[in-house]
Structure 1
């Protein structure tokens, strides 16, 4: 199997300084490296660095995928905007883990191929599709974490080997808006291989996206009540570029104090219930698709039959001219003209067959064959058509 690996790192909150860039350059002589980005593709060999340590020390996002199915996205954000404890509520060994390092929370979305099959890439990926997830998580939008949990369930369903564990495992808190993901979240679901039917089943227990909306007046009141020293510090850090944008931090702090919207009494579901619901949806969807394909095929067949009937009706208006056209086509002594002549002969045979027999056609076609028996290419076409010798 041919090998392909893609590595990319982004520094979002601050660029790397000269010393840090020197350390990174020592890990790869072929990578495209700037103060904010590292990217390299491998068709042989491997990256010498420790990708986890690079994100812990220098970068805010890391993307990796290989054509044997391994996929990984690591995001680093200030621990004050998302704690590892909160993220790990959604953790599954198959798809998500989170930890704290030097004042940051690192969220690791990882899925590996279990069957060794080569991953067929319909599209390539880069971090620009996913980096918006950092701001969403920092602002309190936990849909990316729930998607990772669903990715783990997708792996479980493919494994299909521990139904008792499926029944014991209960879903984590379901964030609102699963039925209307953001662009970055849709990219994450695709990247992690979240089953579309499983996502649709999970979305039935999710509130509307409007539940994520922020009440402007309530937020304004919250900001007004913050200590002046906190607001001054946020503005100074934002002006100097020494800290991330204060927007997500403020939203996260606001949402942490806001009263959560009720979920309407929806009970938390087990993994087994979700997988069963996904199976039902998948079965129904495929049946609908089969029915739609059959209806479309039937419609196409009716249209083709109608067009065929109209063609034969036009031919019936002057069959003698059609026979003369056959003679003219054969006289050209060209492969394409022979094909057209045989097609016209088929039309004449079908036209006569509508009246209950083909005796006159057989006679005239036989005479035609006898007249042109010295043309082997034409004779082969006559044989294929069933015009007797």
Structure 2
């Protein structure tokens, strides 16, 4: 099969300096490289660098996918905006890796194809597709992490692994808003292959998204109560460009003190329970779709039959004119005209059959055979629709 690989890196919190750009440029002569972005597509060959090290050391986001099935999105956030311990609750070997490096938490959303089949990409992904995820995570929205956990369960179900493992795997905390994902979250769910029926049953334990506006007065009071050293550090790093905008971090800290736990005391569900619920929902949905398709097909058949009857009724108003039209079409001695003539003959036979017999039709079409027996192409068409000899 033909080969295709896409690599993209973004520097979001600070641009690369000249030495860092030169270091990256040495890894690829064909890539589009700036101080904030690296992008290249490979139809042969491979990238010589180590994407993981580049994100650990230089970039804040990395996107990779290949037409043989591998997909990867890596995000790097300052550890102060997302603690690795919090993210690790959602980690799965099949879909999400979490680790720390140099004061950052790294999230590796990865899936691969086990069957070796070539993937067809309906959408050309870029990091701009997922750009909002990093800000959402920094602001305390963990839906992307839960989606990764669901992608792991989807991979389990497809692999048909030992179901005993499903019973022991318990879901992590369920974030609010799973039933109303943001655009970047929907793109992530598609990218890492989350089963939509599994997502639907998982969302039943998720409350509404916490989209209520933040009280300016309450937030101001919260910020005023922060230790002066914390505020000085945030402002200094923002001014120097050594850390992202402090806004999402402050909002996350504020919401952590004001938003109740999203699960509301609901007992966590096992992977087995969720997969069983998804299977039942999928079965019911497919049955509904089958019934709807059958009903639609019956409706189309009725409409086609009614249209056919109306067509024959129109022709029946002047049968002799139809026979004249047949003669005129045959006289043109053209392939398309022959097709039209034979179609009209089929209509005439069906019209006569509606009244109880085709004797007159058989007689007149027999005369046509005699008159036009020297036209083999026309005779073949007569034979094809079963006109008697």
TM bucket normalised to smaller: over 0.9
8 Å contact 1:10–1:61 — kept in the other structure? yes
Report the counterpart of residue 343 of structure 1 in structure 2.
Answer: 343
CA distance in 1, matches of 2:199, 2:233: 41
Offset, 1:259: 4.8
1:238: how far off?
3.2
Q: Number of residue pairs matched?
A: 389
Q: Look up the match of 2:166.
A: 166
Q: Distance in 1 between matches of 2:78 and 2:65?
A: 25
Q: Secondary structure of the equivalent of 1:130? A: helix
Mapped contact 1:6–1:41 kept (Cα < 8 A): yes
Q: CA deviation at 1:67?
A: 1.1
1:372 aligned partner:
372
Q: Secondary structure at the match of 1:90?
A: coil
Q: Summarize the alignment of residues 1-389 of structure 1 with structure 2, pairs less than 5 Å apart.
A: 1-210=1-210, 214-261=214-261, 263-389=263-389
Give the Cα–Cα distance (whole angstroms) in 2 for the partners of residues 263 and 17 of structure 1.
45
Provide the rounded CA distance (Å) in 1 between the counterparts of 2:44 and 2:286: 40
What do the CA deviations read for 1:19-38 (whole angstroms, capped 9, x no partner)? 10111111111111110001
Instruction: For structure 1, list consecutive stretches of 5 or more residues without a partner in the other structure.
Output: none
Q: What whole-Å deviation, never above 9, does each CA across 1:241-295 have from its counterpart, x for those lacking one?
A: 3321111110121123335246344221100111111111111111111111111
Asked if 1 retains the 8 angstrom alpha-carbon contact of 2:174 and 2:262, the reply is no
285-294 or 136-145, larger mean C-alpha shift: 285-294
Worse-matched range after superposition: 110-119 or 200-209: 110-119
Within 2, Cα distance between the matches of 1:52 and 1:21? 17
The answer to whether the 8 Å contact 2:174/2:263 transfers is: no
Matched-pair contact (CA < 8 Å) for 1:90–1:172: yes
Separation in 2, partners of 1:237, 1:102: 15
CA distance in 2, matches of 1:213, 1:158: 41
Structure 2 residue runs without a partner (length 5+): none
Q: Is the 8 A contact 1:211 1:261 kept in 2?
A: no
Q: Deviations over 1:348-375 (max 9, x none)?
A: 1101101111111111111111111011
Q: Distance in 1 between matches of 2:146 and 2:259?
A: 21
Looking at structure 2, the residues matched to 22 and 307 of structure 1 have their Cα atoms a distance apart, in angstroms, of: 71
Shift of 1:68: 1.1
Q: SS of 1:257's equivalent?
A: helix
SS at match of 1:231: helix
Deviation at 1:236, TM superposition (A): 4.6
Distance 2:186 2:293 in 1: 27
Deviation at 1:211, TM superposition (A): 6.4
Distance 1:117 1:383 in 2: 46
Cα distance between partner residues in 1 of 2:118 and 2:43: 14
Distance (whole Å) between structure 2 residues aligned to residue 294 and residue 215 of structure 1: 53
Query: Which segment is superposed worse, 235-244 or 281-290?
Result: 235-244
TM-score (norm 2): 0.96
Moved more, 233-242 or 218-227: 233-242
- What TM-score, normalized by structure 1, do the two folds share? 0.96
> In structure 1, how many angstroms separate the alpha carbons of the residues matched to 2:111 and 2:311?
57
Q: Indicate the SS of the match to 2:39.
A: strand
Aligned CA distance change for structure 1 residues 218 and 350 (closer, same or farther; 3 Å): same
Q: Cα deviations across residues 54-111 of structure 1 (Å, max 9, x unaligned)?
A: 0011000001111111111110010001011111010001111111111111111111
Deviations 1:320-366 (A, max 9, x none): 11111111111111111111111111111101101111111111111
Change (3 A) 1:124 1:142: same
* 1:209 aligned counterpart, secondary structure: coil
